[in-house]
Structure 1
């Protein structure tokens, strides 16, 4: 097994023992990026010199006898929505092309402090709006399992990088499923922490009441280790929870479902779901029972209204957040020839700088917030949000976790849904409720669909600050599948 195929925990142990250097590990992954990323399109910016300098610094600190963090020296790919002083932060948009922030996001800073080596910035749907990474202004990323298919979105570059063995870990943000859905369709583990459990400071905002940074990894323990590194209270984020990080690493190592009550969400099955997805989901339910969990059906009736509520709340917040991109302070400026007014320059810049999906959501959100329509649209959507939260509360009085398929289908071909926004939005059908309620939720691989041989994800949802439950159940399933498959799901991925 080469260095690029080892887990983050294995690499950290090798570096800590001195068997390999952080520079050697980073060099191996940079070589892999050079070899395959032209096909995969995971990265928007590769910071080779900076990454090697970070790796050398880790090696020097270790040689000096300094005690380092559990992931020191491990390479990571960083979603291009996180502010980075030494790399561009574009959010996949022409309006921010080449922009270098004057500060680091809290997640970025914590990665650096923990000694992780940032390889570069990954591709994404523009301003995190999309489910396929096709909305990136810089071209789509591709699914390493099948380069003709999407790697999910909006964090598709992050999922593609880890699935293609270009990095053992990556960061993402999850506003309506943008970590869990890409993880599901590329055979990875992807976690949306409790809202407020990971800092939004320095994350370019899409929908401020929903955006949640989280980890991608090829196994549950690696995801938990990364989760623990960058999570925790941040006084610079007014929505940050002032509470200890749940014991996610311990839970990932516990890997037991004995005695747990697991609820199957009735509303997430049936018509519209790919048969192979449902087959793998039902097998996962049977496995949980086999290993000592009590699996019962649970009804969450308001979940059926989650998608329309989300597509009023999220665009409303985005129309407010994206008003700052006005051509006056930073970013793109079009038509400023001295003859046009500020309003004309602003209009020309936004027309040229924003892509079709961003424009669509800004218009939907502005309309929903407009005078005479606020109560009918945004106000009503917030009432539905309250009902969804109450459904979660009632469900968690009966069970410890809820489960569902992560996505109704496997990865779809690039271009198949590009002209059908409603079909695209359905990719997040199962993931949106956890965002609206702020709950913790994870996607773990549960096999391959019979129809196309593509990965299927299982979603595990837990109460607010119950993140450790997600890892406990996910690790137990992972152990069961590893015995069944004789290894990880990614070992079944076709070479490309």
Structure 2
């Protein structure tokens, strides 16, 4: 297999190639580092590249592989490269949070999710780009190059896990970790034609840090296939002593769920997120296509949707408060983040917003007493151009963001699991995504159905050899 084909091979297949000794961790790591060197300057997908550390780890794993007689004793992703979003600490690597004055800040510990990723055998290539403090659904933090969409570089790759999505889509790494506090996994996955899973609240620990936004944010995987994303979710999931939220582990692995057929389910779908206008035609068509495929699979499908409109203001308050909760001086932040922080200086308003969010979330979760899944758009318009909102006032940008990503925050507010799948391309060649939302703590059903949908659709194939 040539280096181009290797770069776009799913992570689980790469793990098997390593176990079968058809390629070494060292050779595979070099493939991705070469591609990063060749293409990342055009995409802005990485904030920091840890080439020497990755090569050192790859050499050690290659030697370990040569000395191993029991291949089954190796961890599941032994020798497979990956990348970590730059909101998370990786020991001896920069940790900037997308803030340019912190670009030389180096972490001296691993977040628990990183520890689990390393324990699974992954080799960390570096830190992927994020919007400043993970605040925005596009990745253009001041002082860093903007992250561009590999499918069309004039457009954004989404955010805040935009760097992770761009890197996987462009074949700069096979799979990546992200996080989602209002769509920050699902949006870039949709922008870049990937699978992105926003897990249930409590599925993945935020240790060693605590929760400062009332449980709206979680780690999650971005991959080429449902199976890859499910397997990385298996790696990241699990309780750590002291977590404020936790879930019982499922009866089978998430990866195993991709190999199972789903029983007939009752599924709702909608293209309308009140009080916002209907999405672009190509997005509506993707939702209708998904609903049709689900009906052909034997599910009972009907139009319906919870009422999300009362959630808008409380979620906005909590989003703003996250800027202050980060503990970063407002003066070092972008004008938009400074404005958001100034709006959130009254603690009472935050507590009122949490109270309102929890009430509305109960109503959203109650919707799933009648339905097993809900199919929605990921966003209400296709990806914006890089820099499209750069000259707007903070108030205008925030209103544009709310109107763009309206289908995503209800998942975060309610703690429900969601998954993004690609359902085709628009006339500009950009992927078009939809999201499926599941019952509380029921990623298994979500993943079963997503895997079946994947089998019924033509998975987008993009191999970036020449930009």
TM-score, with structure 1 as normaliser: 0.87
| Secondary structure at 2:148 match in 1 | coil
Deviation at 1:257, TM superposition (A): 4.1
| Secondary structure at 1:366 match in 2 | coil
- 1:14 alignment partner in structure 2: 17
- 1:38 alignment partner in structure 2: 41
Q: 1:392 aligns with which of 345, 360, 364?
A: 364
Asked whether the 8 Å contact 1:197–1:241 carries over to 2, the reply is yes
| Secondary structure at 1:112 match in 2 | helix
Deviation at 1:165, TM superposition (A): 0.6
Asked whether the 8 Å contact 1:266–1:300 carries over to 2, the reply is no
d(CA) in 2 for partners of 1:31, 1:153 = 25
Within the alignment, does 1:435 sit opposite 2:416 as a pair?
no
Paired residues for 1:264-413 under 5 Å: 264-265=269-270, 267-268=272-273, 271-301=277-307, 303-319=308-324, 321-323=325-327, 325=328, 350-351=330-331, 353-367=332-346, 369=347, 374=348, 377-413=349-385
State the number of aligned residues: 454
| Secondary structure at 1:234 match in 2 | coil
Within the alignment, does 1:461 sit opposite 2:437 as a pair?
yes
| Secondary structure at 2:222 match in 1 | strand
Paired residues for 1:17-96 under 5 Å: 17-65=20-68, 67-96=73-102
- 2:457 alignment partner in structure 1: 481
- 2:236 alignment partner in structure 1: 230
| Secondary structure at 1:87 match in 2 | coil
- 1:329 alignment partner in structure 2: none
Deviation at 1:469, TM superposition (A): 1.7
Structure 1 residues not aligned, in runs of 5+: 327-349, 483-487
Asked whether the 8 Å contact 1:258–1:291 carries over to 2, the reply is no
User: Residues 127-158 of structure 1: CA distance to partner in whole angstroms, max 9, x if unpaired?
Assistant: 10101101354121000011010000111111
d(CA) in 2 for partners of 1:169, 1:272 = 33
Deviation at 1:14, TM superposition (A): 0.2
d(CA) in 1 for partners of 2:108, 2:229 = 29
Q: Which moved more, 1:197-206 or 1:160-169?
A: 197-206
Aligned pair in 2 of structure 1 residues 135, 426: CA closer, same or farther (>3 Å)? farther
| Secondary structure at 2:366 match in 1 | helix
Aligned pair in 2 of structure 1 residues 398, 196: CA closer, same or farther (>3 Å)? same
- 2:424 alignment partner in structure 1: 447
d(CA) in 2 for partners of 1:266, 1:394 = 20
Aligned pair in 2 of structure 1 residues 141, 202: CA closer, same or farther (>3 Å)? farther
- 1:124 alignment partner in structure 2: 130
| Secondary structure at 1:263 match in 2 | strand
- 1:152 alignment partner in structure 2: 158
Aligned pair in 2 of structure 1 residues 439, 274: CA closer, same or farther (>3 Å)? same
TM-score, with structure 2 as normaliser: 0.92
d(CA) in 2 for partners of 1:28, 1:148 = 26
d(CA) in 2 for partners of 1:393, 1:122 = 33
d(CA) in 1 for partners of 2:436, 2:464 = 24
d(CA) in 1 for partners of 2:254, 2:281 = 33
Asked whether the 8 Å contact 1:160–1:186 carries over to 2, the reply is yes
- 1:340 alignment partner in structure 2: none
Within the alignment, does 1:99 sit opposite 2:105 as a pair?
yes
Q: 1:140 aligns with which of 143, 146, 168?
A: 146
